[in-house]
Amino acid sequence: MIALDSKTPTPPVIELEDVHKVYRVGTELVHALRGVSLTIRENEYVAIMGSSGSGKSTLMNILGCLDIPTEGRYRLRGRDVSRMSQSKLADVRGRQIGFVFQAFELLPRTTALKNVELPLTYSRTRHRRNKAIDALRRVHLLDRAHHHPNQLSGGQKQRVAIARALAQAPDIILADEPTGNLDSATGDEIMAIFDSLHAEGQTIIIVTHEDHVASRCRRVLKLMDGRVVRDAINPVEPPPLSNVPLAVPKAPTEAVMV
């Protein structure tokens, strides 16, 4: 395994060993994953591609501790999570995984700030308000902290969702088609946010079928029929978009105190 952005390899975050997933549908067995072995290290920036039915969602569900493999092993930060009970998995998920979805999945009658803060309540994280404010700042949305989702554009909603994923400093951010509901300019804005989080050290995995999204990631995995058929490093890091600030502006915290 080569180091992506430094000379020494970063520690592994995800280690999959010969992972299989078989669904039973009536009397029929569906082999959604057929032996996936994979290591993803800290600060990697990975795209997962593949046509419909190739196993992307199944793999994301396992990586995100929403489901467990039928066979094989999954170690997350060195800890075997492949045979955990649902309640233990939920705990791991709450603390270690940040999810970003295609359709944002924000609570409608809740401010941006509360949307970001709420998951921290479930995991009983301390200093919730400050962490939520900090996460909104990192996606350049502090000035919208008290807006409701219906007062935000699609791109702003997705930034709130990214802030929510970030707030508890997860080991990985898993994003399933995060630009799928956005026009291409807004999609680029969202990718610029992921680029800046990657530059800050975050480990990011994005499922996408868009080449221009995958080309911004550093590593591209391709699934076909439940197997990884391609695992490639993008040769050059694409230049940042000139119209989106990569440095996170510092805004006074007092401005959003309720």
| Residue 174 phi, psi (nearest 5) | -110, 120
- DSSP letter for each residue of 106-174: --TTS-HHHHHHHHHHHTT-SSHHHHHHHHHHHTT-GGGTT--GGGS-HHHHHHHHHHHHHTT--SEEE
Q: Among Mg ion, ligand ADP, none, what binds residue 70 when CB lies within 5 to 8 Å by partner kind?
A: none
Rounded CA separation 155/182 (Å): 7
Rounded CA separation 239/180 (Å): 22
Query: What is the smallest separation between the CB atom of 221 and ligand ADP, expressed in angstroms?
Result: 12
Query: What is the smallest separation between the CB atom of 56 and ligand ADP, expressed in angstroms?
Result: 3
Question: Do residues 235 and 223 lie in contact, with contact meaning Cβ atoms separated by under 8 Å?
Answer: no
Q: Among Mg ion, ligand ADP, none, what binds residue 30 when CB lies within 5 to 8 Å by partner kind?
A: ligand ADP
What is the sign, positive or negative, of the torsion defined by CA atoms of 233, 10, 206, 221? positive
Binder among 57, 70, 102, 125 for Mg ion (CB under 5 A): 57
Q: Among ligand ADP, Mg ion, none, what binds residue 25 when CB lies within 5 to 8 Å by partner kind?
A: ligand ADP
If the CB atoms of residues 134 and 176 are measured against ligand ADP, the closer one turns out to be 176
Of 118, 93, 247, 86, residue with least CA distance to 170: 93
Q: Among Mg ion, ligand ADP, none, what binds residue 122 when CB lies within 5 to 8 Å by partner kind?
A: none
**Tokens for 80?**
């075997």
Which residues contact ligand ADP (rule: CB under 6 A)? 23, 25, 30, 32, 50, 52-58
Contacts (CB under 5 A) with Mg ion, residues 37-56? 56
Rounded CA separation 238/231 (Å): 18
If the CB atoms of residues 39 and 61 are measured against Mg ion, the closer one turns out to be 61
| Residue 92 phi, psi (nearest 5) | -60, -45
CA 240 to chain centre: 20
Query: What is the smallest separation between the CB atom of 187 and ligand ADP, expressed in angstroms?
Result: 19
Query: What is the smallest separation between the CB atom of 17 and ligand ADP, expressed in angstroms?
Result: 19
If the CB atoms of residues 33 and 141 are measured against Mg ion, the closer one turns out to be 33
If the CB atoms of residues 57 and 234 are measured against Mg ion, the closer one turns out to be 57
Query: What is the smallest separation between the CB atom of 74 and Mg ion, expressed in angstroms?
Result: 19
Q: Among Mg ion, ligand ADP, none, what binds residue 155 when CB lies within 5 to 8 Å by partner kind?
A: none
Residue 25 exposure: Cα atoms within 13 Å on the Cβ side: 6
Q: Among ligand ADP, Mg ion, none, what binds residue 54 when CB lies within 5 to 8 Å by partner kind?
A: ligand ADP
If the CB atoms of residues 31 and 73 are measured against ligand ADP, the closer one turns out to be 31
If the CB atoms of residues 54 and 115 are measured against ligand ADP, the closer one turns out to be 54
Residues binding Mg ion (CB under 5 A): 56-57
